[in-house]
Structure 1
Amino acid sequence: MLIALLSSSAHAAGNESGNSFGKAKKELEKMYQDHRLTFYAGCEYGKKGHVNGKSCGYKARKNEKRGRKIEWEHVVPAWAFGHALQCWQNKVCSTSKGKPYKGRKCCGKIDATFQAMESDMFNLVPAIGELNGDRSNFRYGMIAGESRAYGEVDFEVDFKQRVAEPAEAVRGDIARIYFYMEKTYGMKIGKKDRRLFEIWNRQDPVDAWEIERNLRIAAIQGNSNPFVDSTSASARSGAAIQ
């Protein structure tokens, strides 16, 4: 298991905005209005979330419909921080008609820690819908070869091994998001994944947009990602956002 939830009460130091997942997505849409680029592929997308595949050489692997729009992707999947909770495993919720249910929808309704994690904007990025779907809840890792199933987009998925390999330009971002989720919500990253993320963190340092994104989210959520703060932000403060 990639990560394990160690504490159900650690969210006090994290996202205290009180936003639902839906509200967080609306805040992100506004926040990204001057930086509409998809996370994995660097594609431009419009005000209503329509992806310009030509801007990045993206071609759908299979799901053209889902590939036309962005979706807000959890870098650390909701399954990873929710599946061990009672509300995910047991039917402790009920519909207005009294029908019991469980899973993500239930946790999002009754578990405050899950709600904070699900709507934490540091863990949400705009991704082409097809890439979000193909990545699913797979772990990140390295895949042999450089197959291009999505046109020119540097993103590979090994469906058998359940692994997704992102482009070099966002590997450090992913690592720092995982470190943030671990520190903030009492999660534990496995040794193998930690070694990989530490390498990615060094190879892909914080850039100007990551710093700006951190500041914007902090203004909404009231907390920041210390793994972005800890870099030399002042040295980059005059850099152009990329």
Structure 2
Amino acid sequence: MRTLTLLLGCLATCVGIPVLAGGQSQLGDPRQAIEQAFWKDLYGAGGTSLYCGQSFAAPGSTFTASPIYSSRQLKSALRCVTHRQCSIMNPRYPYIAADLHNHYPALTRVELARRNAQFAELAADVPSKFADIGCDLKASFQLVEPRDGAKGNIARAIFYMHVEYDLPIVGLVPMYKAWHRMDPPDAEEKARNDRIAALQGTRNRFIDDPALVDQLIAD
């Protein structure tokens, strides 16, 4: 039986990759980026929710944009509390918060349970929190383990945020690397990368070249 690989709390592990990065600089209003670029441009024709793999034909109130590197983690990393304070203290904050590579569609009900939790691998006997809707997302003590088909997407989004914005990786780097290898980029993720590049001018390099993950070295 598998055991928890993460302890409660925020375990931040910084890694480095010898590639210069600068983040996106085209979407500077997080709310507008979600309302327009995310829902209307990126997912206007529908898509699939990340954590439950449920298809939707059009945006609706049952779905929300879920930041993989959460708002709480971002503020903690930048040492600010409110959106206004973060924007004053760090002019890059609005662009970081608006970055489409960090957002995926999620059922609103699921996101409410996930938003303040940390990604982890949980014991095999931990039940799915949303089995009633056929969603394979485990949750225990502010830790969540997503379905296998979402793990690689999550890892690559976290690696992207680390490299582009010099944010600490919250969690265990070896676990994210394992998720990345187990669930490599598929056609849907690659197409999404292309569409985001057209909308905000940056690509997720770990989708384009999965081997770059091997250059991430834990301190």
- TM-score after normalising by structure 2: 0.79
Higher relative contact order (CA 8 A, sep 6+): 2
Q: What residue number does 2:28 align with?
A: 19
Q: What residue number does 2:137 align with?
A: 155
Deviation of the 1:107 alpha carbon: 2.1
Letter in 1 for 2:63: I
Deviation of the 1:105 alpha carbon: 4.5
Q: What residue number does 2:183 align with?
A: 204
Q: In the TM superposition, what are the counterparts of 1:38-53 in structure 2 within 5 Å?
A: 38-50=49-61
For structure 1, the residue ranges without an aligned partner over 5 or more in a row are: 51-68, 89-102, 233-242
Q: 1:223 to 1:48 in 2, by over 3 A?
A: closer
Aligned residue for 2:168, secondary structure, equals: strand
Q: 1:183 to 1:206 in 2, by over 3 A?
A: same
> Are positions 1:229 and 2:208 aligned together?
yes
Letter in 1 for 2:146: P
Deviation of the 1:223 alpha carbon: 1.0
Q: In the TM superposition, what are the counterparts of 1:42-191 in structure 2 within 5 Å?
A: 42-50=53-61, 69-85=62-78, 87-88=80-81, 103-108=82-87, 111-144=90-123, 145-150=125-130, 151=132, 152-158=134-140, 160=141, 162-189=142-169
For structure 2, the residue ranges without an aligned partner over 5 or more in a row are: 1-9, 212-219
Larger radius of gyration: 1
For 2:108 and 2:88, the matched residues in 1 are separated by 25
% of aligned pairs identical? 26
Q: 1:87 to 1:143 in 2, by over 3 A?
A: closer
Flag as ranges the 4+ runs of structure 1 deviating above 3 A.
2-6, 84-87, 108-111
For 1:4 and 1:199, the matched residues in 2 are separated by 15
Deviation of the 1:82 alpha carbon: 1.2
Deviation of the 1:229 alpha carbon: 1.0
Deviation of the 1:12 alpha carbon: 7.0
Count residues with an aligned counterpart. Answer: 193
Q: Deviations over 1:189-237 (max 9, x none)?
A: 26x61010010011001100110000110111111110011149xxxxx
